[in-house]
Amino acid sequence: MTTAAPDGRRERKKLATRAALRQAALRLALRDGVENVTAERIADEADIARRTFFNYFSSKEEAVLATAALGAEAVVARFRARPAAESVLTALREAVLEVMDRDDVAGHEHVAVLRLIRRAPSLLPQQLSVLAAQERALAAAITERLDGPDDAYVRLCATTAFAALRVVLDRWLERADDAAPPIDVLRAEVTDAFTTLAGGLDR
């Protein structure tokens, strides 16, 4: 008689499978170009049954951009963990800097995805979908922090924060060649961007 695997083990297996597909999709897209990637090739690259792919991702574009989604999710998670005494924009700035300070595989993969997005217009619709989902998640976190209604202020904070990050990251990558520009440059520009938001945009 066999017993079902514990929920924790099953969940870890699902996360591992998703990560394998995400990493395979990114490897193939970087190596061969997004237009030459298929769901079947991603599954084969990850050594996972082809029919399994669509249990985790709805398209190859979603799989390729899953790393970018993880980066945004990490910012929201760190924002939730910031001290309650911090203002919304201060907590957001510090959350972003915490995530950027990671010097690990996930961090390098995120930079690779950002580069890929710049040269693959076909990823734009999925990128917008990812951004919309993460803005909603951040708005929910801001609402919880303020213990108030989900009003225009909350939506504006969430939308402008991610917009500021997109602008800063895009400018940062414009200066790069094959290697990422110095992280201290990015940190300084993130700080400047959030200082500008806190001060107001009207000049």
Question: Tens digits of per-residue pLDDT, 83-101?
Answer: 999 999 999 999 999 988 7
pLDDT for residue 149: 83
User: Above 50 in pLDDT, residue 192?
Assistant: yes
What is the 3-state secondary structure of the chain?
Answer: CCCCCCHHHHHHHHHHHHHHHHHHHHHHHHHHCHHHCCHHHHHHHCCCCHHHHHHCCCCHHHHHCHHHHHHHHHHHHHHHHCCCCCCHHHHHHHHHHHHHCCCCHHHHHHHHHHHHHHHCHHHHHHHHHHHHHHHHHHHHHHHHHHCCCCCHHHHHHHHHHHHHHHHHHHHHHHCCCCCCCCHHHHHHHHHHHHHHHHHCCCC
At residue 27 the predicted structure's pLDDT band, cuts being 50, 70 and 90, is very high
Confidence at residue 104, expressed as pLDDT on a 0 to 100 scale: 56
Q: What is the average per-residue pLDDT within 48-71?
A: 91
Does 103 have pLDDT greater than 80?
no
> Residue written as tokens 């961090």?
107
User: What tokens were used for 71?
Assistant: 């980066």
* pLDDT score, position 75: 92
Assign residue 147 a region: left if phi > 0, alpha if psi is -120 to 50, beta otherwise? left
User: What is the reported pLDDT for 1?
Assistant: 46
Query: What confidence tens digit (pLDDT) does each residue in 121-173 have?
Result: 888 888 888 889 999 999 999 999 998 887 899 999 999 999 999 899 888 88
Rg (CA), the chain: 19
Domains and CATH numbers, the chain: 7-58 (1.10.10.60), 65-199 (1.10.357.10)
Q: Which residue has the higher pLDDT, 17 or 126?
A: 17
Average pLDDT, the chain: 87
Distance CA(38)–CA(34), nearest Å, equals: 8
Q: Give pLDDT, residue 180.
A: 56
- Please give the pLDDT value at position 117: 84
pTM for the model stands at: 0.81
